[in-house]
Amino acid sequence: MKVLIHNTPDSAVDCVAGLIAGRLQRQPDAVLGLATGGTMEAVYARLIAAYRRGEVSFAQARSFNLDEYVGVPPDHPASYWHYMRAQLFDHVDMPAGAALLPRGDAPSPEAEAAAYEKAISDAGDIGLQLLGLGANGHIGFNEPTSSLASLTRVKTLTRSTRAANARFFDDPAQVPRLAITMGIGTILRAGEVVLLAHGEGKADAARAMIEGPLSAACPASALQLHRKTTVVLDQAAASKLALRDYYDEVHPAGRDAPI
C-alpha cells in the first residue's frame, strides 16, 4: 500500500485527479471504477476542468460506479445516478451507455446486483478503481463485517452510514436502508486502486485501514491484500497513523517519486 500524505485536502484532491487523468492519457479506453460522496465532488471538478483544457477525454472510457441505493430511481435527486450526472457525466464526453451504475429501482435488486457483477467481469474487471472511505471503514457500501470475498450484492446500511448520508436527502427518514454495492472481492480484482480521504473524521478509519489488522471489522483493511493501492490523505486524516514518519520519509509531502 502506497501512502501519500499531503499538506492540504486540495493538494490531495489534485493528486487523485492527476492519477485518474494520467491513466486516461496513457489508456484512453480504461475501465474506471467511480465513487460518490462529498469527497469526490472536488475530484470530478478537477477532471471536468482538465477535460475543458483538452488534457483528457472520456470518449473511449467506460465506468462502473460502486453502489446505488435500493428503491431510488435514477432521476431521484439523491440517487447516485443523479450525483454522477451532475458532478461528471453531463460535463464530459463520455458516451451514453458507457457509464453504468446499478439500477436502484430494479424489480429484483438481487438479480440487478448479480447482473452488475457479471457486467464488470465481462468488461475485463475494473482497471482503476477510485474509492472514498466511510468513517466506519466502509468502501462502497461494504459495511463492517462484510465478507472480504464478497461480490456485488444487496447490503443493509448501518445507522451511522444513513446518518452520514442524510444530508443528501430532503428528509433523513428517506435515506434507504438497503443499497446495491460492488463487493470487496469485486474491488480487489481491480488492477489499481486509488483511495482518497481527508479530514479528521476519517483519521480512525485511515489508521485501521492502513495499520490495523486485516479484518472485516474494517472493510477497507482488505486493501492490504491488493497489489497496487495508493492511499491519498491530508494531514488530518493521517493524524492517527503510527508510522507517519516512515510514510513522510518515503513520499515527502505526498510526492510519489523515489528519493
Binding site for ligand GLP (CB under 6 A): 35-39, 66-67, 132-134, 140-141, 161, 165
CB atoms within 10 A of CB 126: 26
7 is catalytic: no
Q: Which amino acid is at 23?
A: R
Nearer to ligand GLP, 57 or 158 (CB): 158
In angstroms, rounded to a whole number, what is the distance separating the alpha carbons of residues 8 and 85?
27
29 is catalytic: no
The catalytic position among 65, 82, 105, 136 is: 136
The catalytic position among 6, 67, 105, 198 is: 67
The catalytic position among 68, 82, 112, 138 is: 138
The catalytic position among 143, 198, 234, 251 is: 143
Give the three cell numbers for residue 73.
430511481
Give the three cell numbers for residue 190.
481491480
Owner of C-alpha cell 510514510: 247
Q: Which amino acid is at 210?
A: I
Q: In what order do the strands lie in the sheet with 178-181?
A: 67-69, 178-181, 153-156
Q: In what order do the strands lie in the sheet with 229-234?
A: 2-6, 229-234, 192-197, 128-131, 31-34, 62-65, 99-100
Task: State the minimum distance, in angstroms, from the CB of residue 224 to ligand GLP.
Answer: 18
Nearer to ligand GLP, 9 or 134 (CB): 134
Q: Which residue is nearest to ligand GLP (CB)?
A: 132
Task: State the minimum distance, in angstroms, from the CB of residue 131 to ligand GLP.
Answer: 6
CA 36 to chain centre: 7
68 is catalytic: no
Task: State the minimum distance, in angstroms, from the CB of residue 80 to ligand GLP.
Answer: 8
Nearer to ligand GLP, 169 or 250 (CB): 169
In angstroms, rounded to a whole number, what is the distance separating the alpha carbons of residues 201 and 217?
17
> SS3 of 229, please?
strand
Task: State the minimum distance, in angstroms, from the CB of residue 40 to ligand GLP.
Answer: 6
Nearer to ligand GLP, 4 or 130 (CB): 130
Nearer to ligand GLP, 67 or 112 (CB): 67
143 is catalytic: yes
Q: Which residues does the annotation mark as catalytic?
A: 67, 136, 138, 143
